[in-house]
Amino acid sequence: MHNLSHKEFIHELIQRDQFVNYVLEQKGERATKPPVDADGYKINAQDSANWRSFEEVTAVNDQIGFVLTDDDPFLFIDLDHVINNEGELSDWADELITELPDTYIEISPSGDGLHMLYKLNDIPDLKTNKRKFDDGTVLEVYFNKRYFTITGNVYTPTAIATINSGAL
């Protein structure tokens, strides 16, 4: 189960009943994480009838996710494949983390990525939400209509920071 110490950092998420469980599925060389209900059946994460409390999803298993909506202030930044075999960050990921305000960051389910969480004061005007780099790393940014996994594997033990979208 989750390391309960991460709960103090994500308490603002925990207050909202926007959680789902997920399962790991291998599709070729790619691992996917489709959302599922308590019985393991695939669900539409965007349907609020499928959302549950943090306590409900963690009672099922430790594979949990949070659904981003237009009605919450959260921003999710996904840094894929940025931790190498020696545990070092890619240069651009290290620079991004250094430039942005300190916030809660955890290691993704793959073990080679990071998830950054922020609260927004305003709605960003994003032209694109995904950028692939030549080294195989990927940057994704979401603030609605998406769910993200929560591992509890804390990388930066800090509360979720609030930022303006202009800081992105």
pLDDT in tens, 48-79: 999 999 999 999 999 999 999 999 999 999 99
Give this prediction's pTM. Answer: 0.91
Catalytic residue among 56, 71, 80, 86: 80
134 labelled catalytic: no
Look at residue 62 in the predicted model and tell me its pLDDT. Answer: 94
62 among known catalytic residues:
no
Residue tagged active-site, from 81, 86, 115, 134: 115
Exposed / middle / buried, residue 57 (Cβ in 10 Å: 0-12, 13-18, 19+): buried
DSSP 8-state secondary structure symbol assigned to residue 160: P
- Exactly one of 37, 106, 125, 140 is catalytic; name it: 140
78 has catalytic annotation: yes
Structure tokens, 72: 């919450």
**Predicted confidence band of residue 105 (pLDDT cuts 50, 70, 90):** very high
Identify the active-site residue in 78, 88, 125, 134. 78
Distance CA 168, CA 165 (A): 6
